Amino acid sequence: MPVKVIKYTCEFKCGTKAKGTLPMIRSHEAVCFKNPERKTCSTCEHEIYYKDGEDHHEIHGIVTESWMVRGCKKLTDEQYSHLQETQEWHSEKPVFHILPVVLCPHWEKKQ
Protein backbone atom coordinates (compact mmCIF):
# COMPACT_ATOMS: atom_id res chain seq x y z
CA MET A 1 0.00 0.00 0.00
CA PRO A 2 1.55 3.37 -1.00
CA VAL A 3 2.15 5.92 1.75
CA LYS A 4 2.22 9.64 1.08
CA VAL A 5 4.93 11.54 2.98
CA ILE A 6 5.10 15.33 3.00
CA LYS A 7 8.43 17.00 3.80
CA TYR A 8 9.31 20.69 3.83
CA THR A 9 12.63 22.14 2.67
CA CYS A 10 14.28 25.47 3.40
CA GLU A 11 13.09 28.28 1.13
CA PHE A 12 16.68 29.56 0.97
CA LYS A 13 18.15 26.26 -0.30
CA CYS A 14 20.79 26.04 2.44
CA GLY A 15 20.96 22.25 2.38
CA THR A 16 19.39 21.58 5.77
CA LYS A 17 17.47 18.29 6.04
CA ALA A 18 13.80 18.37 5.09
CA LYS A 19 11.46 18.75 8.06
CA GLY A 20 8.22 16.90 8.73
CA THR A 21 6.12 19.93 9.66
CA LEU A 22 5.75 23.46 8.33
CA PRO A 23 6.36 25.08 11.76
CA MET A 24 9.67 23.18 12.04
CA ILE A 25 10.95 24.48 8.70
CA ARG A 26 9.68 28.02 9.42
CA SER A 27 11.60 27.93 12.69
CA HIS A 28 14.76 26.94 10.81
CA GLU A 29 14.24 29.59 8.12
CA ALA A 30 14.04 32.29 10.80
CA VAL A 31 17.65 31.53 11.81
CA CYS A 32 19.01 30.29 8.46
CA PHE A 33 22.33 31.88 7.40
CA LYS A 34 21.02 32.02 3.79
CA ASN A 35 18.00 34.14 4.83
CA PRO A 36 18.70 37.65 3.45
CA GLU A 37 16.71 39.25 6.29
CA ARG A 38 19.42 38.08 8.72
CA LYS A 39 22.08 40.07 6.80
CA THR A 40 24.79 37.41 7.08
CA CYS A 41 28.06 37.04 5.18
CA SER A 42 26.43 34.19 3.20
CA THR A 43 24.07 36.65 1.48
CA CYS A 44 26.45 39.63 1.28
CA GLU A 45 28.19 41.11 -1.75
CA HIS A 46 31.39 41.56 0.29
CA GLU A 47 31.75 37.94 1.45
CA ILE A 48 35.14 36.26 1.22
CA TYR A 49 34.91 32.51 1.83
CA TYR A 50 37.26 29.87 0.48
CA LYS A 51 39.20 26.74 1.42
CA ASP A 52 42.91 27.08 2.06
CA GLY A 53 45.57 24.68 3.19
CA GLU A 54 49.18 23.75 3.50
CA ASP A 55 51.23 20.63 2.77
CA HIS A 56 53.56 19.52 5.53
CA HIS A 57 56.50 17.88 3.75
CA GLU A 58 58.49 17.78 6.98
CA ILE A 59 56.15 15.04 8.27
CA HIS A 60 56.55 11.51 6.89
CA GLY A 61 53.82 10.73 4.36
CA ILE A 62 51.50 13.17 2.68
CA VAL A 63 50.01 15.41 5.35
CA THR A 64 47.82 18.29 4.30
CA GLU A 65 46.26 20.71 6.73
CA SER A 66 43.16 22.54 5.48
CA TRP A 67 40.80 25.19 6.79
CA MET A 68 38.15 27.63 5.62
CA VAL A 69 38.86 31.36 5.39
CA ARG A 70 36.05 33.86 5.95
CA GLY A 71 36.44 37.59 5.61
CA CYS A 72 35.00 40.75 4.13
CA LYS A 73 36.08 42.76 1.08
CA LYS A 74 34.91 45.95 2.81
CA LEU A 75 36.73 45.51 6.16
CA THR A 76 40.30 44.89 7.24
CA ASP A 77 41.04 41.49 8.81
CA GLU A 78 41.27 43.17 12.22
CA GLN A 79 37.90 44.93 11.81
CA TYR A 80 36.24 41.72 10.63
CA SER A 81 37.71 39.71 13.53
CA HIS A 82 36.38 42.31 15.97
CA LEU A 83 32.92 42.10 14.36
CA GLN A 84 32.97 38.28 14.66
CA GLU A 85 33.87 38.51 18.34
CA THR A 86 30.70 40.52 19.01
CA GLN A 87 28.49 37.66 17.83
CA GLU A 88 26.54 35.62 20.42
CA TRP A 89 27.77 32.32 18.98
CA HIS A 90 31.45 33.30 19.13
CA SER A 91 33.50 30.47 20.55
CA GLU A 92 37.18 29.89 21.20
CA LYS A 93 36.81 26.24 20.13
CA PRO A 94 38.57 25.46 16.84
CA VAL A 95 36.13 24.83 13.98
CA PHE A 96 36.61 24.05 10.28
CA HIS A 97 33.79 26.28 9.01
CA ILE A 98 33.75 29.78 10.47
CA LEU A 99 30.18 30.94 11.02
CA PRO A 100 29.10 34.12 9.21
CA VAL A 101 28.44 37.42 10.94
CA VAL A 102 24.72 38.06 11.54
CA LEU A 103 23.05 41.50 11.19
CA CYS A 104 26.20 43.03 9.78
CA PRO A 105 26.12 46.85 9.53
CA HIS A 106 28.17 46.63 6.28
CA TRP A 107 25.83 44.11 4.60
CA GLU A 108 24.84 44.63 0.95
CA LYS A 109 22.70 42.10 -0.90
CA LYS A 110 24.66 39.66 -3.06
CA GLN A 111 23.94 40.07 -6.78
CB 73 within 8 A of CB 79: no
CB 39 within 8 A of CB 31: no
Per-residue pLDDT tens digits for 62-82? 678 888 899 999 999 999 989
CB 109 within 8 A of CB 77: no
What is the rounded average pLDDT for all residues in the chain? Answer: 89
Per-residue pLDDT tens digits for 84-100? 888 876 566 666 778 89
Is it the case that residue 44 has pLDDT exceeding 90?
yes
Question: pTM value?
Answer: 0.77
Phi first, then psi: give them for residue 27, nearest 5 degrees: -65, -40
